[in-house]
Amino acid sequence: MQSKKNILVTGGAGFIGSHLIKLLVNKYPQYRIICFDKLTYAGNLENLTEVETAENYTFVKGDISSEENVAKVFHEEEVTDVIHLAAESHVDRSISNPSQFIETNVLGTTTLLNEAKKSWSSVENLFYHVSTDEVFGSLGKEGFFNEETSYDPKSPYSASKAASDHIVRAYGHTFGLSYVISNCSNNYGANQFPEKLIPLVVNNIKNSKPIPLYGTGDNIRDWLWVGDHVRAIDEIFHKGKRGETYCVGGENEWSNLDLVKLLIHLTDKHLDRKEGSSLGLIKFVTDRAGHDFRYAVNSRKLMEELSWKPSLTPEEGMSQTVSWYMENTEWMSRVTNGIYMDYYHKQYLKR
Ligand code: NAD
Ligand code: TDX
């Protein structure tokens, strides 16, 4: 394995990407880490202030769907590896505007792959594609997704991610590109954009606003702390078998209603409010179209081959996360600006 690497982290200014960059910059001073990000509504350089002056870190603004932008960064930064996280990532937005998801997630991934194919000649150069467990579809009350599960995506978001997974594998099979893919469950933690359930709920509790629960609140998600996801990416990038897939999950299933009750408990406690005083904020609203019922992931392969396991208990992780949102109110106010409020009103006001 090369010791000197110039790693392009696409989507590095987003939620998971920024946690990954902080880990890589601090842990591997011998690598150059290049954050390549278009800075859409979800990209925020404020998530990266901790590393912005680090010698082994560079930010390049660019669009993965632009051949010109991608060719330029590959050549100027002499990119040796890609960890690809740039994507449109929110299921609700994929329901209101599917085309943007095809443009970024499918065509953008293909543009990156074409440049990697053109620029690289060694199997040492790795294309790491970060994907989601949603490509496997929806589970009933029993069972788990694993690396053998057939693809059955149900939303425009998951269909676009599934397409990108297939294209990555096709470039490996057809052109010999060295790749690895991971499919992870729902992440939570600091710096997540408050369109996603956990930061949205914590922010609404704090501001005594209704907590919108889709349908009956019985849908189930497997939650993994983002710090554990980026540790898994680090392990897979360095030690994962090339041409293979790894499933990453938290063994931490919650129905949305139970999770919201836990968040109410933790947030009320943090705000010195009477236990459960925000329970009355829960508002059951019209369900998400095509709402997947349950996701659950079996991460045995990752645990056995690479000795990875989640480091935080769900209680520790959720408690730290609530504290972060309570203590970073300025971050929250800056990201919930006018554009966010337009989105929020369209998404929730008539529901
Ligand atoms: P995010 O929405 O927080 O961040 C996405 C980032 O990509 C943003 O910084 C955005 O500016 C950037 N981006 C979007 N379009 C771009 C383009 N055309 N060119 C360059 N940059 C662009 O997403 P996230 O939650 O951090 O997810 C990161 C990746 O991990 C995604 O690929 C997502 O599918 C995958 N994933 C997310 C989760 C989760 O729970 N959040 C779980 C499993 C997998
Ligand atoms: O206001 C809400 N009310 C609600 O009940 C929101 C935003 C969500 N929900 C429900 C829908 C889901 O069942 O909560 C659950 C979690 O929703 P999201 O946070 O939107 O996540 P999800 O749709 O499960 O997808 C996430 O996990 C997998 C990420 O957004 C994806 O990028 C990732 O691939």
**Among the bound ligands, the one closest to the CA of 161:** 1
CA distance 243 to 231: 20
Going by C-alpha positions, the residue among 87, 331, 13 that lies closest to residue 340 is: 331
What single-letter DSSP state applies at residue 117? H
1 pLDDT above the threshold of 60: no
User: Which pair of tokens denotes residue 163?
Assistant: 């397409």
Q: What is the pLDDT of residues 50-62, one digit of tens each?
A: 999 999 999 999 9
CA distance 87 to 187: 15
Give the position of tokens 């790795």: 126
Active site residue 316: no
202 pLDDT above the threshold of 90: yes
Q: What is the pLDDT of residues 62-71, one digit of tens each?
A: 999 999 999 9
Residue 316 CB partners (closer than 8 Å, separation 6+):
none
Q: Which amino acid is at 171?
A: Y
Residue 256 CB partners (closer than 8 Å, separation 6+):
197, 213, 214, 217, 218, 219, 220, 221
Name the residue at shortest CA distance from atom 21 of ligand 2.
Answer: 196
Strand ranges of the sheet holding 220-225, from the earlier edge strand across to the other edge: 186-188, 220-225, 253-255
Query: What pLDDT score does 293 carry?
Result: 98
Q: Mean pLDDT across the stretch 215-236? A: 98
Q: Degrees (nearest 5) of the Cα angle 214, 204, 38?
A: 85
Q: Is residue 69 in contact with ligand 1, taking CB distance under 6 Å?
A: no
Query: What pLDDT score does 350 carry?
Result: 82
Atom of ligand 2 nearest to the CA of 90: 30
Report residue 327: phi and psi, to 5°. -90, -10
CA distance 223 to 197: 11
Q: What is the pLDDT of residues 79-101, one digit of tens each?
A: 999 999 999 999 999 999 999 99
Atom of ligand 2 nearest to the CA of 215: 5
Instruction: Please give the distance, rounded to the nearest whole angstrom, from the Cα atom of residue 16 to the centre of ligand 1.
Output: 7
Q: Degrees (nearest 5) of the Cα angle 332, 155, 85?
A: 55
Atom of ligand 1 nearest to the CA of 187: 40
- DSSP H stretches of helix in the chain: 15-27, 67-76, 91-96, 98-101, 109-119, 156-175, 197-206, 226-239, 256-270, 300-306, 314-327, 329-335, 338-348
Active site residue 171: no
Residue 73 pLDDT class (50, 70, 90 cuts): very high
> Which domains are assigned to the chain?
6-192+222-251+291-312 (3.40.50.720)
Between 349 and 265, residue with greater pLDDT: 265
Neighbours of 304 (CB within 10 A): 9
Instruction: Please give the distance, rounded to the nearest whole angstrom, from the Cα atom of residue 15 to the centre of ligand 1.
Output: 7
CA distance 304 to 293: 28
Residue 351 pLDDT class (50, 70, 90 cuts): confident
Query: What pLDDT score does 330 carry?
Result: 94
Q: What is the pLDDT of residues 105-148, one digit of tens each?
A: 999 999 999 999 999 999 999 999 999 999 999 999 999 999 99
Q: Is residue 132 in contact with ligand 1, taking CB distance under 6 Å?
A: yes
Q: Mean pLDDT across the stretch 73-82? A: 98
Active site residue 134: yes
Burial 106-140 (b: 16+ CB within 10 A, else e): bbbbbbbbebbeeebeeeebbbbbbbbbbbbbbbe
Query: What pLDDT score does 349 carry?
Result: 87
104 pLDDT above the threshold of 90: yes
Atom of ligand 2 nearest to the CA of 220: 13
Q: Is 172 helix (H, G, I), strand (E, B) or coil?
A: helix
- Catalytic, out of 81, 115, 134, 235: 134
Residue 161 CB partners (closer than 8 Å, separation 6+):
87, 105, 131, 132, 134, 135, 153
Name the residue at shortest CA distance from atom 5 of ligand 1.
Answer: 14
Q: What is the pLDDT of residues 157-167, one digit of tens each?
A: 999 999 999 99
Q: What is the pLDDT of residues 288-333, one digit of tens each?
A: 999 999 999 999 999 999 999 999 998 999 999 999 999 999 999 9
- Catalytic, out of 88, 92, 133, 234: 133
CA distance 351 to 341: 15
Report residue 227: phi and psi, to 5°. -60, -35
2 pLDDT above the threshold of 60: no
Q: What is the mean pLDDT of the chain?
A: 97
Residue 38 pLDDT class (50, 70, 90 cuts): very high
214 pLDDT above the threshold of 60: yes
Name the residue at shortest CA distance from atom 28 of ligand 1.
Answer: 85
Q: Which residues line ligand 2 (CB under 6 A)?
A: 89-91, 132, 134, 186, 196-197, 200, 212-214, 219, 221, 256, 288
The burial of 85, by beta-carbon neighbours within 10 Å (0-12 exposed, 13-18 middle, 19 or more buried), is given as buried
Instruction: Please give the distance, rounded to the nearest whole angstrom, from the Cα atom of residue 180 to the centre of ligand 2.
Output: 25
Instruction: Please give the distance, rounded to the nearest whole angstrom, from the Cα atom of residue 239 to the centre of ligand 2.
Output: 30
- Catalytic, out of 31, 57, 128, 157: 157
Q: Tell me the best of 165, 256, 350 to mutate to test the pocket of ligand 2, counting ligand atoms within 8 Å of each CB and taking the most.
A: 256
